[in-house]
Amino acid sequence: MNIGILTAGGDSPGLNAAIRAIGKSAIRSYDMQVIGFLDGFRGLMQNRIVRLDPDKLSGILTVGGTILGTSRDKPHKMDVGGTEMDMTSLMIENCEQHQLDVLVCLGGGGTQKNALRLHKQGFPVVTLPKTIDNDVWGTDATFGFDTALSIATEAIDRVHSTAHSHHRIMLVEVMGHNAGWLALGAGLAGGADVILIPEFPYDVNVIADAISVRRGAGSSFSIVAVSEGARPMDLHLQMEELREIAASSEGDVKKDAKAALAALDASLEGNTQRLAAQLQELTGLEARVTILGHVQRGGIPSAVDRLLATRLGTAAVDFIAAGERGVMVATRGGHTVTVPLEEVAGKRQTVPHDHRWVQSASTLGVSFGQ
């Protein structure tokens, strides 16, 4: 049996651990042949491969990023010479040329959708969930999240001293455009006083009031953990209205609503800086912003991410050997299971309002700006 592997979407800690687990277990347990496609679906289209033999898989467990490279290209919308083309058929031909029995795709929500497209067009796939945002539907956790959570928590820990020394409001922006797991977890673990996430649209006046109350009680500084996708209530309502229009309309109306929604979404860039200026004006306290950006993706994966990636990778090979196809290998309730891609693709795991982390934060008096 022959297996192909590719990594797609953003890089994430634990990808190499997963590649290693898939490759070594396939070779050792089932005498399979394993190849990797370079740079995601683009490398699959261009038929750029590397043989994943034991030597190639050695020493990569603790290495960040992905030895295969990655890209955000989509099989059905591939930029070829400046023209957007559907290259799915060519990708399937390349898989067949190498006599692959299955293609294993490691990625987040977009990768799950792209893998499902390949599967529906006749080529068998299996996927693994990776993303620092922890927002892939159908699994309790994605590898990459724990490492990013530790980095974001450490950053919040480090701004406490300057916030206290200068009596400042310190805003720490972390990744999470559509789901707030990273800001919520890091904010709670790092002792943030305010946590702003996409699932809880905020009112800047409520945030300012919470900071003023802290100041009145003798606390001269405040820490605010902010998801990059956190948005004020008025913007949130506009976006929800446009989503409803796009979902219920056709033709130009649908197209215009989607364009307007994309424009509003793009307007979130720089929102944390604007929020800092507003809070400084409303509270009279100096406000400063730290944006972590891609630092959260880098470095050595945590032990938790290495273990999760290894467990999912070895289980994936066992499922493949047993004939499973068109599924994502997930962790649920401590067990490794398969979830049909039809159930995963197009969905997102966001923070429930009654999640235990939210409840703990509320009990501690953390403000969500509501």
**Mean pLDDT for the chain?**
94
User: At residue 227, does pLDDT exceed 90?
Assistant: yes
The phi, psi pair for 105, rounded to 5°, reads -110, 125
Non-local (6+) Cβ contacts of 281 within 8 A are: none
**How far is C-alpha 274 from the geometric centre of its chain's CA atoms?**
25
**Cα–Cα dist 144/294, whole Å:** 13
pLDDT band at 161 (very low <50, low <70, confident <90, very high): confident
pLDDT of residue 67: 96
Cα–Cα nearest to 355, from 136, 191, 181: 181
What distance in Å separates the CA atoms of residue 74 and residue 54, rounded to the nearest whole number? 30
Q: Which residues contact 188 (CB under 8 A, 6 or more apart)?
A: 195, 357, 360, 361, 366
The predicted structure's pLDDT at residue 298: 86
Q: Which pLDDT band, with edges at 50, 70 and 90, does 164 fall under?
A: confident
- For 180-209, the pLDDT digits (tens) are 999 999 999 999 999 999 999 999 999 999
Q: According to the model, what pLDDT value does residue 197 have? A: 98
12-24 pLDDT per residue, tens: 999 999 999 999 9
Q: pLDDT per residue over 300-325, tens digit each? A: 999 999 999 999 999 999 999 999 99
Q: What is the model's pLDDT at position 330?
A: 98
- What pLDDT is recorded for position 163? 82
Query: pLDDT class for 81, splitting at 50, 70, 90?
Result: confident
pLDDT in tens, 86-127: 999 999 999 999 999 999 999 999 999 999 999 999 999 999
Q: Does residue 166 surpass a pLDDT of 80? A: no
Q: Above 90 in pLDDT, residue 218?
A: no
Q: What is the pLDDT of residues 132-146, one digit of tens each?
A: 999 999 999 999 999
**Number of Cα atoms under 13 Å in the Cβ half of residue 264:** 20
Average pLDDT over residues 287-307: 93
Q: Give me the mean pLDDT over the 214-236 stretch.
A: 92
Domains plus CATH for the chain? 2-143+301-344 (3.40.50.450), 148-297+352-363 (3.40.50.460)
Q: Residue 104: what pLDDT?
A: 98
Q: Which of 11, 39, 73, 133 is catalytic?
A: 133
Give the pLDDT band of residue 249 (cuts 50, 70, 90).
confident
Q: Which tokens belong to 22?
A: 């898939």
pLDDT cut 90: percent of the chain above it: 83
Model confidence at 30: pLDDT above 90: yes
Q: How confident is the model over 350-363, as pLDDT tens digits?
A: 999 999 999 999 99
Active-site residue flag, 318: no
For residue 293, the 8-state DSSP code is: G
Q: For residues 232 and 127, what is the distance between their CA atoms, to the nearest angstrom?
A: 35
Residue 226 has which token pair?
């902010």
Q: What are the tokens at 39?
A: 């740079």
Q: pTM, whole model, 2 decimals?
A: 0.93
Q: How far apart are CA 244 and CA 213, in angstroms?
A: 38
